[in-house]
Each structure stands twice: as C-alpha cells, then as structure tokens.
Amino acid sequence: MDDQLLTQFDRHIAERGYPNRSEAIRDLVRAEIGRAAWERGEETAATITFVYDHHVRELTERLNSIQHDYGQHVISTLHVHLDHHHCLEVIVAKGSASVLKQMADAITHTKGVLTGSITAAAVDAVDG
C-alpha cells in the first residue's frame, strides 16, 4: 500500500475508533464478502424501512397485500404512526437476497410510499 493510501486508511480507522489496522481490515473484508454474497442473491436476513402517507387511497391495503405475497419471508414488522399523515414501517425478512430485493422494490415503487430502503444483515450469519 502506498504512503498516501495508508495515511488515509489510518485517518479512517482513527475516526471509526478501531484499536488497530487488523480489526479494520477484518471488517472491510467481511463487508466486501457480504456485499458479493448479497449481489449473488444468497440467503440472508434484511430490514426494509419505508415511510408512507396512510391517507393515500388504498395504499395501506396495497402494502399489506405485498407483505402477504412474501409472507413466508416476513419475520416481524414494526409500525410507527410518525405524525398525522405518515407511517413508518420496518420489516424484518429472511430469504434469498434476490427475493428480498424484489419485495423491497414492490413496496418502495408503490405510489404513496415516500422513502424506502433495504439493509442486509451479514449474509454468512443465516442458514439457507
């Protein structure tokens, strides 16, 4: 590694509070392996977080219906009434990354859903 990159890396690990380079490198390698497994569509657990306006006509029913379509993958859901208009939901789901991405897309592409994202847990932590 050249000096400039190493200096940047040392600054990065200091900001993140790593005790040493080895621990930081281990995390980077784990993250990269997880990312590759996620891209291959392997078995994983993930959270899908989204915000929607529950006053949009039939939106609640549509979102409920999508979750039933993927019912075997949904482990748990959390619903928070953010304010008069907005609901926030978090779905914890388990399954192949490709199926979970499909479910997240179906939800976030529904009209009336304002923001949404999916976050994978460590892929190697879940049995197929």
The residue ranges that bind Ni ion (CB under 5 A) are: 81, 87
CB of 121 to Ni ion, least distance (A): 25
Q: Toward Ni ion, which CB reaches closer, 44 or 47?
A: 47
Q: Which segments within the chain are labelled E, that is strand? A: 43-53, 74-81, 86-96, 113-120
CB of 128 to Ni ion, least distance (A): 34
Q: Which residues contact 60 (CB under 8 A, 6 or more apart)?
A: 54, 87
CB of 85 to Ni ion, least distance (A): 9
Q: Toward Ni ion, which CB reaches closer, 38 or 50?
A: 50
Q: Toward Ni ion, which CB reaches closer, 60 or 102?
A: 60
DSSP code per residue over 60-82: HHHHHHHHHHTGGGEEEEEEEE-
Closest residue to Ni ion using C-beta atoms: 87
The count of C-alpha atoms lying within 13 angstroms of the C-alpha of 38, restricted to the half-sphere facing its C-beta, is: 18
Size of the chain in residues: 128
What letter represents residue 94's amino acid?
K
Q: Toward Ni ion, which CB reaches closer, 38 or 52?
A: 52
CB of 113 to Ni ion, least distance (A): 13
